[in-house]
Amino acid sequence: MSWIVSLPCTRPEAEALSGEIPELDALVEAPVVVTREIDEDAGLWQLDAYMDDKPGAALLKLLQSFVPSAKGQTPVVAELPEEDWVTLSQQGLEPVQAGRFFVHTSSYADRVPAGTTPFLIDASQAFGTGGHDTTAGCLAMLDQLARQGASPRNIADIGTGTGLLAFAAMALWPRAKTIASDIDPASIFVTRDNAAINGVPLGRGGGGLGLAVAPGTDHPSIKHRAPYDLVIANILAGPLITLAPDIAAATAPGGHAILAGLIARQMEPVLAAYRAQGFRLAVRGGSAEWPCLLLIKRRRYGWRRKERAFHRASPSDASFGSW
């Protein structure tokens, strides 16, 4: 038998639980935590935690700590029948459409809209099902970049999670060489499985996806392939700032970087770190609370001198900002 623990929560609390949860990662048998909106008109949200064994007092206390708004409320603990509780947990994951992309779980496999590029990404140990604003913002930014005429030949997805953003980039630029990395080995296993499910070829050459377990860009395969025309990093503000020199070193002059995983008040510190490395902000996308930043690495020539273009910028160039 399996068990479910339910608690009411707010939308900000639900969004905060969409990414990595270190307190759960430290557990030997971590529950699967899913948040969902149960009443759109009333703005009511709920946390559901699925696990194999009956939860003890310590786990219940930990789950309650994630939702301060439910302080004083008793968690609802229920025993589930012998069913696939991972599938049950996915019933709260609505499909996401961002740009041309439609990201869904198995529950929605028969409801893919015509004209979209679909990806089947089930809930797993890795972050990045598309449901969070950061991932959806990156998908929309990739789509916008392609519509503006960008054609990167060498792409790196740093902190890939489920592999979704790397898959989306490969759908947009199928001839590009792409590598996806994550510090968590489980994420790379999940990415490999998702690649098979979605028909994404693995390999080192153009049109194939290379995989690497690595902290940031610190892996021989990532360094060997550099510099990149496009670097995607949907992680957290702290690691983004720490990795700014490494991401700058891995990005070709004139190349793009898509950064996400930060909240609005963290945008300026992140931008400051990347401006110091020669990047400029081209587009600020994403949601109000979860920005997605498109940066361009300035071209340089000579000794520490910025390269200035001698031609007039086209209208499409202007849409990416100026400096």
Give the Cα separation of 156 and 140 in Å (integer).
17
CB 178 within 8 A of CB 155: yes
CB-CB neighbours of 292 under 10 Å: 26
Q: Tokens 């194939």 correspond to what residue? A: 208
CA distance 274 to 251: 12
DSSP labels, 142-197: HHHHHHTT---SEEEEES-TTSHHHHHHHHHSTTSEEEEEES-HHHHHHHHHHHHH
157 annotated as a binding-site residue = no
Residue with tokens 């994420």: 187
Question: In degrees, to the nearest 5, what angle opens at C-alpha 245 toward C-alphas 239 and 246?
Answer: 75
Burial of 34 by CB count in 10 Å (0-12 exposed, 13-18 middle, 19+ buried)?
A: buried
Beta strands of 208-272 (E only): which ranges?
Answer: 209-213, 228-234, 251-260
User: Any known ligand binding at 182?
Assistant: yes
Residue 197: φ, ψ to 5°:
-65, -40
Which residue type does 153 have?
A: R
What's the Rg (C-alpha) of the chain?
Answer: 21
Paired tokens of 225: 């392939």
Count Cα neighbours of 254 within 13 Å in the Cβ-side half-sphere.
12
Please give the annotated binding residues, written as ranges. Answer: 135, 159, 182, 234
Task: Please report, in range form, the residues annotated as the binding site for S-adenosyl-L-methionine.
Answer: 135, 159, 182, 234
